[in-house]
Amino acid sequence: MSDGAWQKRFNKIFPNMLYPEKSFGESIDQFIGKLRQLEDGNDPHAKDRMPINVEYSLNAVYDYYERPFRDQRDQQLWEEYSFGQLSLTPSLRKTISSTLKNIKKANQQWRKNYGN
């Protein structure tokens, strides 16, 4: 997706915000649904998303960091959000990811040549 299309979708889903942010009365599950709309264009679990009161009752059972996710994509988006990656446009994320891979590759080559 182009940065322009992503920004347009972002402005529609998160109006008047500089980065994705969960609103006060919104559950994490509902927020992840918004992230799916932003990144994938739709949320296949939209009608099943838990409201905040149901999620609060589940928090008594699950640790915040060990919460169950609906699928791997929900978990991936939550992790990317938690590390601040979803605040960046797709092309910037791609550039940073590519740069980090190159740094890792150079580090591995250095270790191979010169030891630990």
What residues make up the domain containing 70? 3-88
Residue 93 belongs to some domain of the structure: no
Residue 24 belongs to some domain of the structure: yes
Q: Which two tokens stand for residue 102?
A: 């190159």
| CA distance readout (Å), 97 to 76, 85, 101, 110 | 15, 10, 6, 20
Residue 82 belongs to some domain of the structure: yes
Do 55 and 69 contact (CB within 8 A), yes or no? no
Residue 50 belongs to some domain of the structure: yes
Residue 14 belongs to some domain of the structure: yes
The listed range with the strongest mean pLDDT (40-49, 59-68, 88-97) is 40-49
Residue 25 belongs to some domain of the structure: yes
54-87 confidence digits (pLDDT tens): 888 877 777 666 778 899 999 999 988 888 888 8
What angle, rounded to 10 degrees, do the helices at 72-82 and 28-40 form? 90
Structural domains in the chain (count): 1
Residue 109 belongs to some domain of the structure: no
Residue 105 belongs to some domain of the structure: no
Looking at per-residue confidence, does 38 or 104 come out higher?
38
